[in-house]
Amino acid sequence: MLKENLRTVEEKIEAACKRAGRSRDEVTLIAVSKTKPLEMLQEIYDTGTRHFGENKVQELCDKMEQMPSDIQWHMIGHLQRNKVKYIVGKVALIHSVDTYRLAEEINIQAKKRNITVPILVEVNIAGEESKFGISAEDAILLVEDISRLENVQIKGLMTIAPYVADPEENRLYFRRIKQLSVDITNKNIDNVSMEILSMGMTGDYEVAIEEGATMVRVGTGIFGERIYKKSNV
Ligand SMILES: *Cc1c(COP(=O)(O)O)cnc(C)c1O
């Protein structure tokens, strides 16, 4: 069942790449496995998938301990500063950095371990009240500030587009954040690269790819609907 889901997602990614005149290897699929049991992750792992995304530190660390060590884990959820120490050096990429203070804490923990930590700056591209992320207007300043931290390296931008019935409604936002990443590239800021654009979820990843996504984060489309226990809400 999951394998068929994954195949469907893969076919849609390939088709979107083709429409956009892009090569399939420009886009990394992250299987978002939050709330899902290890057996399901293992089933997807067995197809060759090596990028998994989680949004909670505890769950991420638990799963990391129990799954094969060649998985690249992506922290995609809101991150509290007091939990940074548990994931620095363990995850492949932190997608959700939206304040200088958070980047500073990542820098401190990275320095302690003598490593450089790759991060994305999360942008609230639609300016939704309910969402984390820096506003598009303030993003460049934040990137410039973070760029001065020695043990953190900005690799690009991430966004969570609005929840919409028709993915076409998000095309404008994807286009805007792509443009923002081009604007930042053109500033040639030391220690900053814009090679990654993490955007697109189950409802809108095809449009996101057409607009330049290099990472798509797909949960429901692979693992099915999530059931949240009351304690998780
Ligand atoms: C849960 C989550 C996803 C995946 O959402 P789906 O709609 O299930 O594909 C992607 N990105 C982030 C940040 C998430 O929290």
The DSSP string of 47-76 is TT--EEEES-HHHHHHHHHHS-TT-EEEE-
Asked if residue 43 is part of any domain, the answer here is yes
pLDDT tens digits, 88-105: 999 999 999 999 999 999
Residues spanned by the domain of 70: 2-223
* Residue 230 counted as domain residue: no
How far, in Å, is the centroid of ligand 1 from the Cα of 111? 30
Asked whether residue 36 is assigned to any structural domain, the reply reads yes
| Tokens at 218, concatenated | 């797909």
Ligand 1 centre to CA of 221 (Å) is: 10
Please give the pLDDT value at position 231: 60
Grouping H, G, I as helix, E, B as strand and the rest as coil, residue 123 is: strand
Q: Is residue 233 part of a domain?
A: no
pLDDT score recorded for residue 227: 87
**Does residue 116 have its Cβ closer than 6 Å to ligand 1?**
no
User: Can you state the percent helix, strand and coil of the chain, rounding each to 5?
Assistant: 45, 20, 35
Q: Is the CB of 218 under 6 A from ligand 1?
A: yes
Domain assignment present for 70: yes
> Domain for residue 15, yes or no?
yes
Structure tokens at 49: 């998938």
CA 210 – ligand 1 centroid, Å: 19
Residue numbers of the chain with a pLDDT score lower than 50? 233
- The answer to whether the CB of 167 is under 6 A from ligand 1 is no
Identify the pLDDT of residue 228.
83
- Closest CA relative to residue 147, chosen from 96, 104, 197, 85: 104
What per-residue confidence (pLDDT) applies to 208?
Answer: 98
pLDDT number for residue 73: 98
Q: Which residues pair with 94 in a beta bridge?
A: 75, 119
Question: What CATH number does residue 53 fall under?
Answer: 3.20.20.10
232: in domain = no
Residue nearest to atom 13 of ligand 1 (CA): 76
Domain count within the chain: 1
Ligand 1 binding pocket includes 222 (Cβ within 6 Å): no
∠ CA 165-167-171, nearest 5°, is: 140
By the 8 A CB rule, do 102 and 57 touch?
A: no
34 Cα nearest atom in ligand 1: 1
- Is residue 52 included in any domain, yes or no? yes
